Every structure is written in structure tokens, then in C-alpha cells.
Amino acid sequence: MAKILKLKVWRGGRDGAFEIYELPRHDSQTILDAVTYVQRWIDPTLSYRFSCRVGMCGSCAMTVNGKARWTCRTTVSSVIEEDLLEVAPLRNLPVIKDLVCDMTRFFENWDETGIPDTDLAFNLTWHDWINLKNLILVSRAITAPAPARENSCGAHYRADFPNEAVAERSEYVSVISRDGRFDLARHPVQFTRVRPGESLIKNAAA
């Protein structure tokens, strides 16, 4: 008979409460696997964060049986007590919802850490942090114009795309990051190299 895991999960904001879910228990199951099971198969409204799933980004951190842990690296079997596992948001940050905390203060503190001007040695951790911040900024810039788009015929025009919008009215959206916000602007697409229905590949139309 399949083993059952009882997972006690924090729901709501700081004044929320625990709810208990029962789910299948497996060998090598991580805490993140268990939380994901609840969200996929029991209650899709459960909010939590994760990204890399390989113990690098730290975004999956939660309080597990009273201790802060990276849930993608922590197996259920290594921390379970009396067949019950308790998963809550991190304790030292404001709770947004369920297992998701507001990380603003954490990142502000990290920014203030910095490196002294006198220490110009290459610091891999600090460079990773700068890279990560830039990647997040670029990802936000890529997703910001999505709600402003009205068609997909601009630079992605394809003759076989089943949208009959007029290519001459195609627009693209530019994004400029300024003072912590994104300014969006629409521009008409200038077909300077090739027009819809044409190809730069010789005899491609043949």
C-alpha cells in the first residue's frame, strides 16, 4: 500500500493558519516535491516560489519543522517527525501569501553589504549577485510589454500565421527601465530588410 505523507502547510498572510494535506510519499521526495504535489493536484491556489530546483538560487527557502531550509535540497525523510511535516514561510520576512515572502528587505540588505573600495579582488559571489540581478531585470523587461501587445505580426510575421492582421500596421513595443519602472512605447515596424512574404534566401519561394 502506498505510503501517505501528512503535510501541514501555512495558508494565508501572517495571520493565516495551517492546513493539513495528505499526499503520496516517495523515496527521495523533497519538500519542494511535496509542496508542488499539493499545488498541482490538491489546491492550485497554493502560492510558493522556486526556480533552479538544484540548490543554487535559494528562492525555494521555507521554514520546515521550525528551521529555514532550501526545500529543493531537503528530502522529506531527512526532516520528517512522526509522519508529519510542517512547512511555513520564512519567519524574518513579511508574508505575502501562503509560502511566499516579500524579499525586498532581504535584497536591500544584500545591496548594502557591497565590497569595500579597498578590496578590488575578484569576488565570485558578488559577481554572481550582480549577474542574477541583471538577469532578473532583463526577464522583467521582456515580460513587461506582453500585456501591451495587440498582435504578434511584428518581427515575428509568418505567412502561415493564422492571424489576418495587416503587416503594414505592425508595431513593436520598446521598454526603457527608468527610476525603477518600465516605460513602454509602441513603434511601427519598418520592413527595411525583407517584407512579409519575401525571403532573403535565394529561390526560397520556388
Q: Which residues bind ligand FES (CB under 6 A)?
A: 50-53, 55-60, 70, 72
CB of 20 to ligand FES, least distance (A): 24
- Quickly tell me which residue has 508595431 as its cell: 171
DSSP state of 18: E
Task: Give the torsion through C-alpha atoms of 1, 45, 12, 132, to 10 deg.
Answer: 100
Closer CB to ligand FES, residue 8 or residue 53?
53
CB of 111 to ligand FES, least distance (A): 20
CB of 32 to ligand FES, least distance (A): 6
Closer CB to ligand FES, residue 20 or residue 132?
132
For residues 136 and 119, give the distance between their C-alpha atoms in angstroms, rounded to a whole number. Answer: 26
Do residues 29 and 76 touch, judged by C-beta distance below 8 A? yes
For residues 25 and 20, give the distance between their C-alpha atoms in angstroms, rounded to a whole number. Answer: 14
Which of 148, 140, 133 is closest to 182 using CA atoms? 140
CB of 48 to ligand FES, least distance (A): 10
Closer CB to ligand FES, residue 51 or residue 104?
51
Closer CB to ligand FES, residue 55 or residue 66?
55
For residues 151 and 171, give the distance between their C-alpha atoms in angstroms, rounded to a whole number. Answer: 8
Q: What strand order describes the sheet that includes 17-24?
A: 17-24, 4-11, 84-88, 61-64, 67-70
Closer CB to ligand FES, residue 7 or residue 72?
72
For residues 195 and 40, give the distance between their C-alpha atoms in angstroms, rounded to a whole number. Answer: 44
CB of 94 to ligand FES, least distance (A): 21
CB of 150 to ligand FES, least distance (A): 35
